[in-house]
Structure 1
């Protein structure tokens, strides 16, 4: 018999008991690459932070705010990637967590509001080419503007993953796993930090929200169970305890700490 795993659920390929979904910018990395471009190459920090607050409190949708941010960046795309490689750093605990997850058959799925070419370039730079090939990345894309090359001034634009108000509604990727029959369904984790993660916040068994970031505020306002993390070292310890049966996902959802 052939595999019964639906094509739409690639993380089930190895029959894992746990799947780790995660945001990329500001979660796997210490800095958000899109914020960095906006603050340093685009319309600046003040307008970017105002846009995030408008999204957090429901005054705008994420898609429109994010589009405006990235449209303000006119630097050629290849130069943007070079600048990000030099300035974006990896969460100090991610590499060891990634290696442990791989050894323990826990797929890592990156769900990002960013752009796939940026994520792939940064992961290859920070973790290695081999890692990029083993991590599923679901995100937005990038394309040249009409009549321009992507690598000229004002030549690129974001291409959103879907038609939602998020541009990439991360819940759409998680829900098919969450709705599996109990005997087939893995335990699902999610880690995030900001407004691009609001669509994913209620979809998994345990949510890790980065301490001091907007996702914590959202979870507290919306009464979404979560636990905070400062680095992937915190996530690694908690997930390891859950996998070992020392802790349940309900016990782990301690909120702000």
Structure 2
């Protein structure tokens, strides 16, 4: 979702070296993941809107306004969140009953902790909600290892007012692509020790593309919009059904990289556009965010099943690959 206040500190993104590595791999690996539809099967906002807000029919009508370009994502989102009239705790009860976590996510995250692989959530949702969901499903100690880059929120005690605090003052609010562009300008390709980390992104919808295109390795949940888009536009990706698939593939990638590079220099699978993620993972990095006008491609951030420009019903999307040329895996 959209955003518009003071830029986040670097501490929002997990730095390397917090835990003792148990991995034989010399290459540092950093994971970034979407939340709704990726770690959890349902959308946290939709659960709230349908049960304590505008209702499913109105939400679907509002979704359509985004798709047609009649209204901006930020404008529609503010109406959706503004329709809620429920205290946070009561709203969380329905989420706890409705949400389903990927069956293998917790084991995957424990694997990340054990192997000193920072795992970060980048989301269009509201940070207080996402943190509470992770605390509940994983436990607060394990959840504390996950950094969340998402919108803040103002929620009144009686639940009569839910107001997103947008990260950027644009039509999108939280414009992932905007953040990527600005941070990449000051990117330092190397980590603190001079090595270059491998950047992994995990997602499910077209809205993940602005961030996904910055990764060395992209995982797309099988059968959903991100995979369809990757196939259509010949973007290299690895399909997954559960996070167990991702763990197996990362092990293979680590072995490949160790064999070809010994963990030195450029990763065997390398995307030179991934500078933003390399930089924000650096302990010394201080990214700056500047409001800009996002491109058409970047506006794919809007909605998992939609690619819309405000008041522009028809948009052509370039078919040029957005990531390094690798064999597309079906």
With normalisation by structure 1, the TM-score equals 0.80
User: How many residue pairs were aligned?
Assistant: 245
User: How is 1:107-186 mapped onto 2 (pairs within 5 angstroms)?
Assistant: 107-144=118-155, 150-171=156-177, 176=183, 179-181=187-189, 183-186=194-197
- Specify every segment of 5 or more residues in structure 2 that has no aligned partner in the other structure, as ranges: 1-8, 19-26, 260-267, 270-323
Query: Per-residue CA shift, 1:104-148, capped at 9, x if unaligned?
Result: 11100111111111111111111111112111111111104xxxx
Question: Is 1:64 matched up with 2:75?
Answer: yes
Q: 1:106 to 1:253 in 2, by over 3 A?
A: farther
Cα deviation for residue 187 of structure 1 reads: 1.0
Name the SS of the counterpart of 2:128 in structure 1.
helix
Structure with greater contact order relative to length (CA < 8 Å, sep ≥ 6): 2
Please give the alpha-carbon distance, in whole angstroms, between the structure 2 residues aligned to 1:252 and 1:128: 38
- CA contact 1:52–1:195 (8 Å) conserved in 2: no
RMSD across aligned positions (CA): 3.1
- For structure 1, which segment, 71-80 or 125-134, has the greater mean C-alpha deviation from structure 2 after superposition? 71-80
Cα deviation for residue 28 of structure 1 reads: 0.9
Number of the residue aligned with 1:98? 109
Number of the residue aligned with 2:86? 75
Please give the alpha-carbon distance, in whole angstroms, between the structure 2 residues aligned to 1:50 and 1:229: 31
Please give the alpha-carbon distance, in whole angstroms, between the structure 2 residues aligned to 1:59 and 1:237: 43
Please give the alpha-carbon distance, in whole angstroms, between the structure 1 residues aligned to 2:167 and 2:96: 24
- For structure 1, which segment, 89-98 or 69-78, has the greater mean C-alpha deviation from structure 2 after superposition? 69-78
Cα deviation for residue 32 of structure 1 reads: 1.3
Name the SS of the counterpart of 2:256 in structure 1.
coil
With normalisation by structure 2, the TM-score equals 0.64
Number of the residue aligned with 2:41? 30
- CA contact 1:207–1:253 (8 Å) conserved in 2: no
Query: Per-residue CA shift, 1:82-113, capped at 9, x if unaligned?
Result: 22122212110101110111111110011111
Q: 1:185 to 1:12 in 2, by over 3 A?
A: farther
Name the SS of the counterpart of 1:111 in structure 2.
strand
Please give the alpha-carbon distance, in whole angstroms, between the structure 2 residues aligned to 1:221 and 1:51: 27
Number of the residue aligned with 1:208? 219
- Specify every segment of 5 or more residues in structure 1 that has no aligned partner in the other structure, as ranges: 1-6, 145-149
